[in-house]
């Protein structure tokens, strides 16, 4: 496996050869670093966002307003992660994603990677303005290319029902602590 310029191996989790700037719908999951519950809580299956969670929500909603090639579908800000459906629409006008800084792993303008990277960056910047300097996202993000209407329906259901399943969720830090206690 080739090594990158930072001196460590990094395997891509993206579909090899897939163009993530093409028109289509994508399911995105982004996790807070180390699974820290920094965006709020869930009570009786309902998300209760704190100030940080409201920053995440506000910036997600701004994503489509500042990028003419993006449409948003259902989403949920969970205590330590975020799920959303984002669609790239056929629009070639100049948008914010054209200002992506060049990197060794260059991002395609107007792609899912560029959009998610900018979203993560602005959320981090705005949360750190509140003097919570330790906030950061987990490296990378999960994506799933939504292939048809049935897939879209399933993903929407998963996102909408995610807060009600928080008590069983693997991302729930209470579940990880209990699992670790049970294995000792």
Sign of torsion over alpha carbons 33, 38, 39, 42:
positive
Amino acid 14: pLDDT: 56
- Any idea what DSSP says for residue 44? T
Neighbours of 9 (CB within 10 A): 9
Neighbours of 150 (CB within 10 A): 9
Amino acid 168: pLDDT: 79
CATH code matching the domain that covers 24-159, chosen among 3.30.70.1290, 3.10.20.600, 3.30.465.10, 3.30.70.100: 3.30.70.1290
Angle CA(125)–CA(126)–CA(128) in degrees, nearest 5?
65
Q: Is 9 helix (H, G, I), strand (E, B) or coil?
A: strand
What are the Cα distances from residue 103, in Å, to 5, 73, 114? 11, 29, 11
Structure token pair of residue 8: 């460590």
Q: Is 52 helix (H, G, I), strand (E, B) or coil?
A: helix
Rg (CA), the chain: 17
Amino acid 149: pLDDT: 96
The residue whose two tokens read 């003419």 is 68
| pTM for this prediction | 0.78
The pLDDT of residue 6 is above 60: no
Sign of torsion over alpha carbons 10, 13, 89, 126:
negative
Cβ(26)–Cβ(145) below 8 Å: yes
179 pLDDT band, cuts 50/70/90, is: very low
Which residues share a beta bridge with 146? 25
Bigger pLDDT: 51 vs 106: 51
- How much is the average pLDDT of 131-145? 89
């Amino acid at each position: 496996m080739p090594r990158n310029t930072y001196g460590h191996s990094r395997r891509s989790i993206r579909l090899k050869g897939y163009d993530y700037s093409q028109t289509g719908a994508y399911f995105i999951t982004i996790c807070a670093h180390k699974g820290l519950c920094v965006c709020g809580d869930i009570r009786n299956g309902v998300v209760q966002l704190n100030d940080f969670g409201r920053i995440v929500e506000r910036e997600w909603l701004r994503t489509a307003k500042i990028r003419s090639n993006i449409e948003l579908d259902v989403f949920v800000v969970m205590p330590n992660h975020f799920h959303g459906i984002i669609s790239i629409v056929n629009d070639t006008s100049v948008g914010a994603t054209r200002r992506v800084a060049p990197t060794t792993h260059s991002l395609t303008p107007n792609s899912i990677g560029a959009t998610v990277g900018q979203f993560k960056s602005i959320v981090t910047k705005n949360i750190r303005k509140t003097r919570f300097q330790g906030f950061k996202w987990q490296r990378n993000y999960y994506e799933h290319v939504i292939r048809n209407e049935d897939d879209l329906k399933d993903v929407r259901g998963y996102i909408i029902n995610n807060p009600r399943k928080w008590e069983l969720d693997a991302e729930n830090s209470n579940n990880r602590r209990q699992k670790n206690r049970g294995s000792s």
